[in-house]
Structure formats: C-alpha cells, structure tokens
Structure 1
Amino acid sequence: MNFASAAAADVWGSASQGASLVLAISNRKILEKSFFHIGLLHLSILLLLKFFRARLFIREFSKKKEVGEK
C-alpha cells in the first residue's frame, strides 16, 4: 500500500509539473505575441508621427517658398 501511494503521488507530481510546464509555455507564447503586437503598434505610431512631421515640414517649406517668390 505504501509503495502504491508513493507511486500515485509521483505520477500526480509529474502530471502537475507537466501541466505547469505547458501553462508556462502557452503563457510565454501569449506574452511574446502581445509584446510583438505592442511593438507593431509602437512602430506604426512612430511612422505616423514621422509622416505628419514631414507633411508639416513640406507645408511650411512651400509657404516660405511662396513668400520668397512674391
């Protein structure tokens, strides 16, 4: 009886360790995906800001050019 309960406890411990390992791997994948999406969002915001800054610069440059021509 003692051996059987020890074996059952060993199997239960191995199963719980395996389940926690699977959970840790899936959480890691979820975190990797969320960090990837946060990175993409950050990159797209930076690109939008650069686009609007360039547009503003072109607008100011064209105004200065028009004033210089008149």
Structure 2
Amino acid sequence: MTSRENCGYSSRTIFAAWVQGNFRIAAGCFWNTLDEFESAVDESYSCEAAETYKQAARDCVAELTVKLNKAGE
C-alpha cells in the first residue's frame, strides 16, 4: 500500500492498494479503481484541483507498481 497526505478539498490521505489483481484507490468512503476515482474527481473538482488530486492517486499507483514490480503486467 502507498499513500499521499493532504489531498483534495478535505485534505484527505489517499491510498493505493493491490487487491485481487487490480489497483484500488481509497479516499474517504471511496474505494474503487483508479479510472473510477478519476471519474469521481472530475465530477466534483475544477480542472486544476481535479488534476492535482488525480495526479496524487497516479503517483501512489506508480510507487506501488515499483514496490510490487508490476510494471509491464
């Protein structure tokens, strides 16, 4: 699992986890795939704020990918 602190309007800590063959993002009560996270963020945040929040999740996934050696799978 990897995380980023102070994300989004609520300064949440978000997490990325590898669960049953997929990366999942946890943010508050949200728990789903990165694609679903990005869609949810786009519905609630303006352009720059949305991109910053989504990038934090992408960074978590990238870090976890390296940790798990999942690159290229």
- Same fold judged by TM-score > 0.5? no
TM-score (structure 1 length as normaliser): 0.33
Higher gyration radius (CA): 1
TM-score (structure 2 length as normaliser): 0.32
Q: Tell me which protein shows more strand as a share of its residues.
A: 2
Higher RCO (C-alpha 8 Å, min separation 6)? 2
